[in-house]
Amino acid sequence: MKLRTHLATALALFATVVALAMAPASDARTPQSDGVRALDGEWLFVEDRTEGRSLEQLGAPMSSKFSLRVEDGAIVLNGHGSGHKDVRVALDGSTTEIAEQDKKARYRGAWKDGEFGYDVEFVRGPDNARDGSIGLIRREFRPTAEGLIVRVAIDPPQGKPAVALYQHVEDIPLPTPAKAAIADVGWIAGAWVGTRSSGSAIEERWGPPLGGAMLATSRTVNKSGKMSAFEYLRIVERDGGLVYVAQPGGKAPTEFVLTEIGATRAVFLNPRHDYPRRIVYELAGKDALTATAGQLKGGTPQRYEFKREGS
């Protein structure tokens, strides 16, 4: 009988020890830590929600694409500062100092009330005659069911703080393709030349629709007569629609799906690309072509106006 009593007591003590040993691990996964983990990953700008902005003023309050990496007691930033370097910001309010050319950037961050926020203060170096603070940026990141709400304010202030929605790339819906064949954009074919606002000459040379595709090269030549940029372009048939494929500088291809098509206008979208996300070609008469590249909504897109070579 005593043996059974001792055994029962030992088992009870063992259960208590196990429970106590497991309690810290269980408690470590608090709602706060779950919220911090929700920050992890790459984020892409989706929508500007800043109060009072006009359509032309809409845009990303910071980089169109950035990442946050959650570590023990810290958040690692990428794409938040100059050079897109990684910056480790502790969550205990301590300072991380990064040298940036003739100034230093001082980061201080914390997780509070379901939100990660950090300040970055720019300070001129001690060798600079104007030593001292030259500005501060406050960034706040709140995970929500629809994505990451980002709020950016600067000091001294310039208007209202910027607010925007960012999402993970895989959570951004793809556009609905329009039905079309390569012949439907045959009006883009030709040698097109223009001049940019900088004075650089730009050209796009599109071959005719053939074999389910149109191919092109683009070249920019600066005012001194040197090539400053080039791009390989093509439009191809796929699954009953058209895809615009761009390779600036010969880099890896980025695809844009045709979503609107008319007799003289074509719209291609890729909402999962950082920039541009919307490319539009439009024919004005037989000898003028306009191409614009920008965000899905608002902002000031890049605009290229071409004339048919020799016209």
Domain residue spans in the chain? 39-171, 182-308
Biggest CA–CA distance in the chain, Å, is 109
φ and ψ at residue 196, rounded to 5 degrees: -85, 165
CATH topology of 39-171 equal to that of 182-308? yes
At residue 308, does pLDDT exceed 80?
yes
Do 151 and 143 contact (CB within 8 A), yes or no?
no
Do 225 and 237 contact (CB within 8 A), yes or no?
no
Condensed to tens digits (0 to 9), the pLDDT of residues 248-292 reads 999 999 999 999 999 999 999 999 999 999 999 999 988 999 999
Structure tokens at 200: 């650089």
- What architecture is domain 39-171? Beta Barrel (2.40)
Q: What is the CATH number of domain 182-308?
A: 2.40.128.20
Among 212, 148, 159, 162, smallest CA distance to 184 is for 212
Condensed to tens digits (0 to 9), the pLDDT of residues 151-166 reads 999 987 777 899 999 9
Condensed to tens digits (0 to 9), the pLDDT of residues 78-100 reads 977 655 578 999 999 999 998 87
Whole-angstrom distance, CA of residue 174 vs CA of residue 180:
18
CA angle 56, 57, 61 (to 5 degrees): 140
pTM for the whole structure:
0.82
Give the up-direction half-sphere exposure of residue 268: CA atoms within 13 A in the CB hemisphere. 25
